[in-house]
Amino acid sequence: MTQTPPGWYPDPGAPPGVAPHVRYWDGQRWTAHVQPVQGAQPPQPQQLVQPAYGGAPARPQKPGPTTPDGERLSGWWWRVLASLLDGVFLSIAANVVSLPFQIQFQRDLDELTQRYLDTGPGESIDFSTFWNESIDVYRDHMVGILLVPTLFTIAYFVGFLRWKGATPGKLICGLRVRLRDRPGRLPWSTIAIRVGVQTVLPSALLVTGLLSGSTSVLVLCYLAAMTFWVVDALWAAGSKKRQALHDIAARTNVVRTR
C-alpha cells in the first residue's frame, strides 16, 4: 500500500448511483478530500461517503492542483474577487475610522490651494513650490490619513486570519488560508509573516517616501509599493502551487472550502 504515490484516484468506497468522483490517497491511507471526475456531474454533498480503507488505488486521475494532503487550491479569479470584496469592506471601515483626520487634512489642502488660486494679476503660480507645500500637508497629516488606516488594515487581516482562517471577502467566496504542509489554525508567526509581506512592507515604503522630504524619493517609493502589490497579486496566477509572494514567505495556500 505504501508504494502507491500520493494522488487522486477513483473512490473504492463509493456506493452505486453516486456521481463519479475521486478521493485523495496520501501515500498510506485514503483522506476525506473528494472532488468530481473531470467531465462528470459533481456529487451532491449528501452523497459523499466516508473514506474507504480497502487498499491502495489502481490508477490516477488528473484533478486540479491541491495541497500535499489533497485539499483543493483556490483559482486566481476567486482570490481576485475576495480581494475586491475585502477592499470594499476595508475602504468603508478605514474611512469611517480616519474621517476626523481626513476632514482636517482636506481643510488644510483646500486652504493651500485657494491661497495659490488667489494670486494677483500678472502673478504666476510656482507649481514646484505648490507641490512641495502640498507634500508638507500630507506629511503633517500622515498619522491620520496613512498610519491609522494601515493599522486598521493590519488588525483586520490579523484578527480574521487568526479567528476564522480567512478574511470576510474570502469567507464569502468559500476560501480559507492554511499552511501548505498541514491543515489547522494558523500560527501567530505565520500570520505575522503573511500580513507583514502583503501589507506592512508596501505601506512602509509609502511612509519612507513621505518622511524623506524628497519628491524623487517619494515617487520612487510610491512606484515601488504599487509594483510590489501588482507583482504579489499576479504571482499566484503563474505559480504551480498558486501562491502569491506573501504565501511563499508564510508557507501558506488559499484553498476552496466548497
Each residue's pLDDT tens digit, 76-103? 999 999 999 999 999 999 888 888 888 8
Q: Higher pLDDT residue, 51 or 204?
A: 204
14 touches 51 (CB < 8 A)? no
With a CB cutoff of 8 Å and minimum separation 6, the contacts of 82 are: 167, 169, 170, 172, 173, 175
Give the pLDDT score at 44. Answer: 41
Tell the residue number behind the cell numbers 505601506, with chain if given: 203
26 touches 70 (CB < 8 A)? yes
From the list 250, 232, 256, the residue with the least C-alpha distance to 195 is 250
Bridge partners of residue 176, in order along the sequence: 255
Angle between helices 99-117 and 127-140 (to 10 degrees): 160
Each residue's pLDDT tens digit, 119-143? 666 666 677 777 778 888 888 878 7
User: What single-letter DSSP state applies at residue 122?
Assistant: T
Domain boundaries, given as residue ranges, for the chain: 1-63, 76-256
